[in-house]
Amino acid sequence: MSSTPRGDDRPVHPATTVAAPDVDAIEALVRRAIDARRHDLLTVVGNGELTIALRWDGPDGPCVVKRVPPFPSAAAADDYIALVHRHIADLEQRDVRCVATDLYRLPRADGSVVVYHCQPLLSTEHLADQVLRRDEVSAEHPIVIAVVDRVARVVGDGVPLDAQFANWYWFEGEPWQLDLSTPLYLDAAGNVCFDSTGFQREYPALARRIVYKELMKVAGGFSKVDWVLTDMMTQLHRQGLERWCGAVTAAAADRLGVTIDPAEAKARFDADVKFFPTLLKVKRFQRAWMQHTRRRYDTLLPATTSFGR
């Protein structure tokens, strides 16, 4: 995410509340981009595997929006929104600051509801992964220490957290969590605690259950300290920052007494390089089939995965 510089050149404060965006206008443009496969119609500022962050320039200034695939009913959308608010509250109760986030519902004629997340447009140079990219490697780097400590505090209490460095905004010596669109709480049966049918419909019907089961195997890890710390290193490989893996390993051992294996992180990365681009191909196939049969595909797909493929 990049921000328009202010007169005093200070970074945007992550607690900044932005004016409500015109979600009808955003949805109309997203709809056009989906139907025409026109990525150039939108300004992508963040490309994850489940959601895409877009810059929106409204009359009150720019912001960042994330569109969640449609929920089948207003009740399902409300349950999801309540779970996001619970996640934010759980994080903040454990001294994790969250970037100001508002959620907006957009009901559709068929009874389904699209949910948009809205956040301030932050400066890319203050994203934690970009700070690490510029700095010298050290297990005592304040960002490494801050994130490792928060993983212990939050995930140690059973609260799920995707702690990869790209999800933190470094502001005045403190990390702010900005990825709040997928609160990965699981129920007793191991399923996510929100209606995920919108995400599942991105895939062909025969593949949905298989893909969902594979993704749920990953989802459960975000509530385990050693898994999250290892995943942080996996994502460092994805971001071209693997030189920091040793620092994360040392910080985990020194501060938490937790042993994590850099080789496991690399193995996960090697598997992800094959898995997630394949998932995108499957989504593209489903989109092509639905559009060929004159049905509506409801998810905005990125031009590439976050692995650059």
Does residue 93 form part of some domain?
no
Non-local (6+) Cβ contacts of 142 within 8 A are 173
Does residue 234 form part of some domain?
yes
**Is there a contact between 30 and 41 (Cβ–Cβ < 8 Å)?**
no
Calpha distance 18→28 (Å, rounded): 21
Does residue 273 form part of some domain?
yes
**Is there a contact between 71 and 80 (Cβ–Cβ < 8 Å)?**
yes
Calpha distance 56→65 (Å, rounded): 7
- Residue 3 has what pLDDT? 39
Does residue 81 form part of some domain?
no
Q: What is the pLDDT of residues 94-141, one digit of tens each?
A: 999 999 999 999 999 999 999 999 999 999 999 999 999 999 999 999
Task: Please name which of 51, 24, 28, 50 lies closest in space to residue 41, comparing C-alpha atoms.
Answer: 28
- Residue 12 has what pLDDT? 86
Q: Print the domain residue range for 225.
A: 124-290
pLDDT band of residue 295 (cuts 50, 70, 90) is very high
- Residue 195 has what pLDDT? 95
Q: What is the pLDDT of residues 279-293, one digit of tens each?
A: 999 999 999 999 999
In terms of Cβ atoms closer than 10 Å to its own Cβ (0-12, 13-18, 19+), residue 292 is exposed
Does residue 77 form part of some domain?
no
Q: How many domains does the chain have?
A: 1
pLDDT band of residue 308 (cuts 50, 70, 90) is low
Show the tokens assigned to 276: 């997630």
Show the tokens assigned to 87: 């996640």
Percentage of residues in the chain with pLDDT exceeding 70?
96
Does residue 200 form part of some domain?
yes
The yes-or-no verdict on residue 266 having pLDDT over 50 is: yes
pLDDT band of residue 307 (cuts 50, 70, 90) is confident
Average pLDDT over residues 225-241: 97
* Pairing status of strand 97-98 against strand 174-177: parallel
For residue 234, the Cα-to-chain-centroid distance in whole angstroms is 15
Calpha distance 248→240 (Å, rounded): 15
**Is there a contact between 197 and 72 (Cβ–Cβ < 8 Å)?**
yes
**Is there a contact between 130 and 82 (Cβ–Cβ < 8 Å)?**
no
Does residue 245 form part of some domain?
yes
Does residue 130 form part of some domain?
yes
